[in-house]
Amino acid sequence: MYTEQRLLENPPVTLALSDCKDYLSKMPDNSIDAVITDPPYNIKYKYDAYSDNLPFHDYIQWQLEILGECTRIVKPGGSILYLNYPELASKLFWDASEQYALVPYEIITWIYHQHTGGKPFRKGTRLWLWWGVEREPDYIGEEALKGQYRNPTDKRIAKRIEQGLAPVDYDWWHYEQVKNVSKEKTAHRILSRGSPGL
């Protein structure tokens, strides 16, 4: 099954519904600046058309193959950002770095309130894996990584805020999810600040 829909013209955004390996295989080498992906986590989640219950080795191999295709299509100096549970992400971070032209840049812990229950148990912690292709990423977007002080009324902190300083959330994020069922749609600051084209 394959469908494609143009969502935006400027910046150009196309939504494709396809098996990602098939879609990636048709893309030319060194053709995009970044890949941001949040694949199934192999936690026995009941999707409509996908079995999320592969043997561990098969799942890791599948993800490595996808990361290999991502490496092929991203330009040198571009970024691959990959989200998964910590125990899977930590293995994939180093395995993919050894197999492909991926330069480990950062592992970012993302923590948010898990508002879903039931089975399978879903965690409120994920790891974002960040690689540069062939070298460290050319674009980091440091403005988007500026955080907020937790104690802004403290005199020392207030002085830092007056000076335009802010903590930098390089290695962990505590941002709530922007859910597709929310009645209020707001631009998420991690996407809206400092990101080219967004």
Q: What is the pLDDT of residue 187?
A: 55
pLDDT for position 197: 34
- Which one is predicted more confidently, 167 or 89? 89
Identify the DSSP state of 197. T
What pLDDT sits at residue 119? 60
The pLDDT confidence band at residue 122, using thresholds 50, 70 and 90, is: low
Q: How many CB atoms lie within 10 A of CB 42?
A: 21
Whether 100 contacts 67, CB under 8 Å: yes
Domains and CATH numbers, the chain: 17-137 (3.40.50.150)
Flag whether pLDDT at 145 surpasses 80. no
Give yes or no for residue 55 having a pLDDT over 70: yes
Specify the DSSP element, H or E, that contains 4. Answer: strand 3-9
Give this prediction's pTM.
0.77
Mean pLDDT computed over 90-97: 95
The pLDDT of residue 175? 62
pLDDT in tens, 7-34: 667 777 778 888 888 999 999 999 999 9
The whole-angstrom separation of Cα 56 and Cα 191 is 33
**Mean pLDDT, range 65-75, rounded to an integer:** 97
Quick one: average pLDDT of 140-158? 81
> Rounded to an integer, what distance in angstroms lies between the CA atom of residue 55 and that of residue 37?
21
